[in-house]
Chain A
Amino acid sequence: MKDKVLMKGTDALAEAAIQAGCRCYFGYPITPQNELPEYMARRMAEVGGVFLQGESEIASINMVLGAAASGVRAMTSSSSPGISLKQEGISFLAAMELPALIVNIMRGGPGLGKIAPNQGDYYQATRGGGHGDYRTPVFAPASIQELYDITMYAFDVADIYRTPVMILGDGMMGQIVEPTICRKRQKIDLPPKDYILDGARKRPSRIIRSLILDTLEMEEHNWKLKRKYDLMRGKLPQHEEFMMADAKLIIVAYGTAARIAKGAVKRARREGLAVGLLRPITLWPFPTQAIQEIAKKVKHFLVFEMSTGQMIDDVLLALGGKAECEFYGRPGGVVPTPMEITRIVGRYWVQKEILG
C-alpha cells in the first residue's frame, strides 16, 4: 500500500494525463476545475510539455486541434458553459478524426448556473454536443482511482479510434481526496499516427480537413464514422454492478450520484430491502446490453441523477418496456444524502409492492 498517495480529483486527472504522455494542455479558467490547469502549469514545465492558458475556451479547443494534428497527446478541460463554447471545435475534431481529451467538470445550469456538483450536461456529452452526425466516447468515473485510471485509458481510446474523448465529472469528483495508486503507463500497441502534419519531408504532402463538397464523399465519410462508432459500441461499454445478485430493485446512477446511491443501497440492505446498483462507467456508448440482461430477471429500476432526468432516456431505451422504471432527481447543485435516496427506495418498494 505504500505507493498509495492521497490525491485530489483534479490533481489525479492531471497527473494521469502526464503519465499517459499528454504533452499539450490548453484551457481557460472556470470553477470548479481550476486546480487542474494550475497543476498542469507546474507539471508541464517539469516534463517539458506545453501549458498555455488560452484567451477563451474556443481558442483553447482549437489549440488542442493544432497539437493533436501535430501528433502530440493533447487535452483541455473546462466546466459546463466553457464546454458549450468548445462544441464547434469538438465537432471539427470528430470530423477530422483527431484524438484529444476533453474534461467537463460539470456545474449547475443552464446559463451561468452555480458551481455546485450537477449532472445537467449528460445530453450534451452523449448526444454529440456540437453540430453534425458524430459521437464522443464519454467516461464518468466515480472514485479518484478510477478517475486516474480512466484518464490514462481515455488517451488510448482517443488514439485507437482517432476520436475526441470526454471525461464527465462534477465539482465533487474534482474536489474529493482519496488514496490513489499513480500507475505508470502500460504501453499498448497503438495504430501509427500516419495522418499527422509535421512538414512533408520525404513523403507526399497531407491535408487535414472537414470540408467535403462532394455529396457522396460526404455521405461515405459519415458512414465511415458510423462504422467506427459501431465498433466502439461493441468494445467500449463499461459498468459496475454492486449488490445485484439477488436484487429486486436496481438503482441506476453514474458519477457522484452513484457514490450516493451506493450508500443508499447499503442502508436499504440493512433495512432488509434487496436493492442493487448498476453504475454506467461509459455514458456513451451506454451499457445497454448489460441493462437488457439484468432486465430479464429484475423488474424494477430506479434512475437517480443530479438533474431533472437525462440518462433515464438511455435506461428506458435499454429496457424497452421490459421492466418498470422510476426516476428521482435533484438538479441545481443539490447533493442529496444516501439517507434521502434510501427513503425514496423505501417508498418505491412499498408502492410497487416489491416483495423481499
Chain B
Amino acid sequence: MKKVFTKPKCLKDIPFHYCPGCGHSIIHRLVAEVIDELKISDCVIGIPPAGCAVLAYNYFDIDMCEAPHGRGCAVATGFKRAQPDKIIFTYQGDGDMAAIGTAETLHAANRGERITAVFVNNAVYGMTGGQMAPTTMIEQKTTTSPFGRRSEVEGYPLLITDLIATLKGPAYVARHSLATPAKILATKKSIKKAFEVQIKGLGFSLVEVLSPCPTNWKLSAVDAYKFLESKMEKEFPIGVLKDVTKRK
C-alpha cells in the first residue's frame, strides 16, 4: 500500500511541545518537507531563535545552532561566509526579527546575504507570555498593552517584510498566512522558492508567515484562525513582495 501522508524524513520522531492550534508546528513541518524535497538535509544548517521555536533543534534531524535573541541573521551570515556551499536558514519570531534583531535582519537582507529567513509573525511575544510585539496591531490587547495598542503611545505595527522588499539585496520576499489549507500550501511553495533562490545564489530570501497564537490571543484555536484571516491579513497583506526570478 502506498503511504500518502508521512512524517517528513528530516523531522525526528518527537512530539512538538507547542500549544494546541499554534502555527509553529505547521511551519516546522512545511520547512521539513521543503528540506526533504530539495534533498538538502545533509548540507543545510538551521538557526532557531530565542522564542517559542527555541527548541526547534530538538525536532529537526539536521545540523542546528542556537542564536542569541534577535541575532539569527548575523549568526547565519557567519555560517554562510565560512561555508558558502551550505544552505543556511534562520527561523525567527516577530520580536526576534523585527524588534531586538531589526538591525541584523535589515543589514543581512541589504547585503544580499545568501541565506533564507523564515519569519513567523504571531503579533505577540509568545515565549515570554504574550507581551506586545513590534507587529501587535492597533487596539490588540497583550499583557503589556492591556488597553490595546495605541498608536500615540506604542506606535504602529512594523511591516518589516515590506521594508525589506524595498532593499536591493533581497532576491525573494513574500508574506503568507496559515489561515486555510490552500494558504498553507501556498506558504510551503513560497518557502521552497526561498530556499531555491538561495541555492541559486541570487541573494537574501525571506518568507513571513502569519501564524496563530491561540494561547496568547486568548482565543480558541478555531477563533484564532478566524482572527488570522479577518484581522492579521488586513494589517499584513499576503503576497509576493519581491521576486528577482520574475524579472526579464
Contacts and interface: CB of A to CB of B under 8 A. Distances in A.
Interface of A: 23-24, 26, 50, 52, 54-56, 58-60, 62-72, 74, 88-89, 92, 96, 197-202, 205-211
A54 B71 CA distance: 12
Given A55-B103, A67-B81, A200 B74 contact: no
Interface centre among B43, B71, B78, B83 (most CB of A within 10 A): B78
A305 B21 CA distance: 60
28 contacts: A50-B81, A54-B74, A62-B74, A63-B78, A65-B78, A66-B78, A67-B79, A67-B81, A67-B82, A69-B65, A70-B78, A70-B82, A70-B83, A74-B78, A88-B68, A89-B71, A197-B65, A198-B45, A198-B83, A199-B43, A199-B44, A200-B41, A200-B42, A200-B61, A205-B64, A206-B63, A208-B64, A211-B54
A60 to B, nearest CB: 8
Interface string B47-90: 10000001101101111111110010011111111110010000
A70 B79 contact: yes
Nearest to B78: A66
Contacts of B76: 66
Interface of B: 41-45, 47, 54-55, 57-58, 60-68, 71, 74-83, 86, 103-104, 107
A92 B104 CA distance: 17
B78 A24 contact: yes
Q: Which of B55, B57, B60, B71 counts the most A-chain CB atoms under 10 A from its CB?
A: B71
Nearest to B42: A201
Contacts of A69: 65, 75, 78-79
B124 to A, nearest CB: 21
A148 to B, nearest CB: 25
B235 to A, nearest CB: 28
A199 B42 contact: yes
A64 B45 CA distance: 16
Nearest to B103: A55
Nearest to A59: B74
User: Closest 5 A-B residue pairs measured CB to CB?
Assistant: A66-B78, A62-B74, A70-B82, A63-B78, A199-B43
B81 A65 contact: no
A63 B113 CA distance: 12
A14 to B, nearest CB: 18
Contacts of A71: 82
Contact of B68 (A62, A72, A201): A62
A89 B66 CA distance: 12
B103 A62 contact: no
B104 A62 contact: yes
Nearest to B115: A66
Given A55-B104, A199-B43, A207-B65, A63 B77 contact: yes
Contact of B103 (A26, A59, A199, A208): A59
A66 B107 contact: no
Contact of A89 (B60, B62, B68): B68
